[in-house]
Amino acid sequence: MSTPKIVLVTGGGSGIGREIATALLAAGHTVVVAGRTRASLESVAGADPVVADVTDPASVAALFDHVRARYGRLDLLVNNAGMFGRGAPVPEVSEEDWQAVVDVNLTGSFRCARAAFELMAAQDPRGGRIINNGSISAHVPRPYSVAYTATKHAVTGLTKALALEGRAHDIAVSQIDIGNAATEMTAGFGAGTPQADGTRRPEPTMDASHVGELVAYMAGLPPDANVQFVTLMATTMPFIGRG
């Protein structure tokens, strides 16, 4: 078992975030789960639930103040909070639709990473780790997903920039690109999902617990080792050769 760490998981009350938080707790870490719904956060047994909204600067500041005041440090931030947004052709995507996805997936991730940088660079011993939740859509889009795809491509740029600047502060930054983990978001994939050729076909999914296991492994790495980018996906999903 790795040395117990102080961990913050955003979007930690459901779906992939819940699986990540559960795996990290099982590995012996202290886990703060943040999200907008208290009931779902409190259902993660053993975690420290904090209601927070990554689209609200004051809420994020309060979240990191809580971590600093209660634990004195942060060893791992998992930037997991995200949303798919409205699935629609580009002409039907409104400014509000677009901005809602950008605010959560991109700006929210930046906002939390910035706060984590400030804390990790100043703590003793300094440093830590940030893991961003990317997506298969950080590589190739699904139909009718312009905002989600654009933000996930942007998260890759964010990860690279953070990883570069993190070197000076002993902060390792990684990205996990997940494909078809079985969650509420992918619940309908077995019945058919839009394909690039205009058809709808079922897609396979994988157990979301594998994502938690991977994050727990990455969390246990020594400070001088990092998984920079990793793709974890259902083996036969249409990714290689998509389109």
112-167: pLDDT as tens digits: 999 999 999 999 999 999 999 999 999 999 899 999 999 999 999 999 999 999 99
The reported pLDDT for the residue numbered 242 is: 61
Question: Is 71 assigned a catalytic role?
Answer: no
Task: Name the catalytic one among 71, 144, 148, 217.
Answer: 148
Round the average pLDDT of the chain to a whole number and report it: 94
Cα–Cα dist 19/155, whole Å: 21
Q: Please write the tens of the pLDDT for every residue from 194-233.
A: 888 888 888 888 899 999 999 999 999 999 999 999 999 9
- 1 confidence band (pLDDT: 50, 70, 90): low
Q: Please write the tens of the pLDDT for every residue from 46-80.
A: 999 999 999 999 999 999 999 999 999 999 999 99
Q: What is the pTM of this model?
A: 0.94
Comparing CA positions, the residue from 174, 183, 191, 175 lying closest to residue 136 is 175
Q: Please write the tens of the pLDDT for every residue from 159-196.
A: 999 999 999 999 999 999 999 888 777 777 768 888 88
Q: Is the dihedral angle over the CA atoms 141, 145, 147, 152 positive or is it negative?
A: negative
The reported pLDDT for the residue numbered 198 is: 86
Cα–Cα dist 73/60, whole Å: 16
The reported pLDDT for the residue numbered 80 is: 97
Q: Six-digit token pair at 30?
A: 């202290």
Q: Could you give the C-alpha distances from 33 to 131, 145, 226, in angstroms and in order?
A: 15, 28, 23
- 243 confidence band (pLDDT: 50, 70, 90): low
The reported pLDDT for the residue numbered 100 is: 98
Q: Would you tell me how many other CB atoms lie within 10 Å of the CB of residue 125?
A: 10
Q: Is the dihedral angle over the CA atoms 7, 11, 15, 18 positive or is it negative?
A: positive
Determine the 3-state secondary structure of 50 from DSSP: strand
Which secondary structure element, helix H or strand E, spans residue 116, and what is its range?
helix 108-122
Which domains can be identified in the chain, with CATH numbers? 6-233 (3.40.50.720)
Q: Six-digit token pair at 121?
A: 């660079």
